[in-house]
Amino acid sequence: MGYKVEFTMKNLLILFVLILLFARINAQFAPSAGETGSTAIYKDDLSFVGWAKTCKVTRGFINISDTTITFTQDKITSSRAFFGSESMVTGKAGGALDCISLGDGGTAILTFDFPIRNGEGYDFAVFENGIKMPEPPYQYFLELAFVEVSTDGKKYVRFPAISNTQVQQQIESFGQISPEQINNLAGKYIANYGTPFDLDELRDSVGINTDSINFVRLIDVGGIIDSKYASYDSKGNIINDPFPTEFWSGGFDLDAVGVIHLNGITGIAKQSESSAFKLYPNPVKAGGYIYIEGIEKPKIELWSQTGKKIGEWQPDNSAFKIPDISSGCYFLSFRTDNEFKTIKLMVE
């Protein structure tokens, strides 16, 4: 009898190890925000040097498999998602309700003050309003989107998305997903934590310049596993996420896009281009004052050659003080409602 108990326990141990191994194989990507190895970036992280300036959204249906279904909220009835506005997703990430819902297959195109460039590590991050569920298996309600980038706004290249979530059973409207089964899909993380993307993955792509990305496009993953309406990852797998989401807030909920590496070197203006505009002295001593003429109350930003913002001003008079920074080449950008220019500045 003792031999049989020992044999049974041994088999159970082997089975347990096999289950763990299987789970590890199928959960091969970074875990949720706050866990060891997560790639999630909090919205206040100092690595962010800029945020989206404009956003243009094309709404999708609340149920792509039956476009006659409607939802009513505050006297508005529509078959398409209608929560939020485009202005909510420009600037810094604001949280769970500061977003715009795309609906099934809806799109959002974002632009920036400066192009995003391929720097060391991640280059930008997309924020959505996913939540951790309060009941077992304590996974996450996540709505996903493809991420594409473009230099000219015409040719877009998609990040190679992967979804290892099972496709035998449809994830229901408030079903749960493990972030560890998802890679290169926006919406992987909960609200206030961005999903990062590395342009180096696309460096060999044709039709874009990964050091000059002017457009980021998000395309909602409908989430339905019916092959007639399904979205597929880069390996040809159906992507399963909560479906249907027949509310005004259906589909991917875009909060913000934060930039980690930007190219602040484009659009350099020579001082001789405009006789009215003058900046002096240039070179300037670190900690010294810069004087400007010929431009009314501009917003001024100082950038390093690597695209990191060092300081910003909006002076009422014609002078502002440069920080006590290392000598070298920098860039000053000047923006008003009607004018934008960037000047190369030498600091001694």
Could you read off the pLDDT of 6-51 as tens digits, one per residue? Answer: 546 556 555 544 444 444 445 589 999 999 999 999 999 988 988 9
Give the largest CA-CA distance in the chain: 99
Mean model confidence pLDDT for the chain: 87
Q: Report whether pLDDT(82) > 90.
A: yes
Residue 279 has pLDDT above 80, yes or no: yes
The pLDDT of residue 1 is: 45
Q: Kindly report, residue by residue over 66-81, the tens digit of the pLDDT.
A: 999 999 999 999 999 9
Name the percent of the chain lying above pLDDT 70: 86
Give the separation between CA 272 and CA 276, rounded to whole angstroms.
9
| Lookup result for tokens 């009314």 | 296
**∠ CA 299-300-305 to the nearest 5 degrees?**
145
Block residue for tokens 């989107």: 145
| Residue 299 backbone class (left: φ over 0; alpha: ψ -120 to 50; beta: rest) | beta
Encoding tokens for residue 272? 């001789």
Among 156-170, 260-274, 303-317, which is the least confidently predicted range? 260-274
Residue 298's pLDDT is what? 83
Place of tokens 């476009």: 67
What CATH superfamily is the domain 271-347? Answer: Macroglobulin (MG2) domain (2.60.40.1930)
The answer, yes or no, to whether residue 154 has pLDDT greater than 70, is yes
Query: Percentage of residues in the chain with pLDDT exceeding 90?
Result: 64
